[in-house]
Amino acid sequence: MIFAKTTRKRSFEMLMSLLVVVAAVAAPVAAQEEPTPVPEPAQEQPAAAAEPVAAQEEPAPVPEPAQEQPAAAAEPVAAPAPAAAVAPVAPVEAAEPAVAAVPVLYRQKTLVKVDGKAQADGVVELVVQPQGGEPVLVRVNVLAKSKPKAITEDLLKELDFAIDDHYKVSRSGDQKIVVKALKKNPPIAITVTTQSLSGVSVTVSNG
């Protein structure tokens, strides 16, 4: 029995000694740096599914035309102030027709001749002026279809009325009038200033 105990004791001691040796041998090996593990190449991740195409941009809504607002009622216009009283103006006497600026020729004897037939109503105006005297306007209104004889007769009456006794007014045929200055009287000028008479011609020349 003693021998058995002694044997187990020795076995135990031998086992412990073996474990110490094994531990001493294994320690340096464990101390060595383990090789850095080579990282495995990262597996390429499958591309993410493409995002869905953005929804097509919806067309911008067309704004509805603004409804025209009814125009505001116009403000009432103020009544105009009463006009100031205007003093009555004295009536102006009608001025005589202006005499056209035409050459004035003085003659001792003047011939006035009428030609043609009036096609419409018209007027003939002459200016009679003795040398050194005031001009006098002679006006004859003529009706349409008047013949030269009738026009000459009306013109003779107006000339005889406008010229004083120092001159003689006479008729020569149906279409001529002669105006002659009497002895020792100045010559006289007769000028046609207006002849608005279609179809009729009135001329003045030496008698």
Three-state secondary-structure class, residue 204: strand
Task: Report which of 157, 177, 160 is spatially closest to residue 113, judged by C-alpha positions.
Answer: 177
Compute the half-sphere exposure of residue 22: CA atoms within 13 Å on the CB side of its CA. Answer: 6
User: Residue type at 70?
Assistant: P
Furthest-apart CA atoms within the chain: distance in Å: 216
Task: Report which of 199, 22, 191 is spatially closest to residue 110, judged by C-alpha positions.
Answer: 191
Per-residue pLDDT, 53: 41
- Other beta carbons within 10 angstroms of residue 181's beta carbon come to 20
103 vs 101: CA distance, rounded Å: 7
148 vs 192: CA distance, rounded Å: 17
147 vs 199: CA distance, rounded Å: 10
The secondary structure of residue 198, as a DSSP letter, is: T
Per-residue pLDDT, 18: 76
Per-residue pLDDT, 165: 85
Per-residue pLDDT, 115: 94
204 vs 207: CA distance, rounded Å: 9
Per-residue pLDDT, 114: 95
Task: Report which of 201, 191, 151 is spatially closest to residue 171, judged by C-alpha positions.
Answer: 151
172 vs 94: CA distance, rounded Å: 36
Q: Are 155 and 112 in contact (CB under 8 A)?
A: yes
Per-residue pLDDT, 44: 52
Per-residue pLDDT, 19: 77
> Mean pLDDT for each consecutive 10-residue tract of the chain (207 residues)?
61 76 60 53 49 50 57 55 58 52 84 94 94 93 94 94 90 92 91 92 90
Three-state secondary-structure class, residue 57: coil
- Give this prediction's pTM: 0.50
C-alpha separations of 100 from 97, 134, 150 in Å = 9, 15, 26
The continuous run of DSSP H or E covering 167 comes out as strand 167-171
Per-residue pLDDT, 47: 45
Per-residue pLDDT, 12: 74
Per-residue pLDDT, 119: 94
- Other beta carbons within 10 angstroms of residue 189's beta carbon come to 20
* All domains of the chain in start order, with CATH: 109-206 (2.60.40.4390)
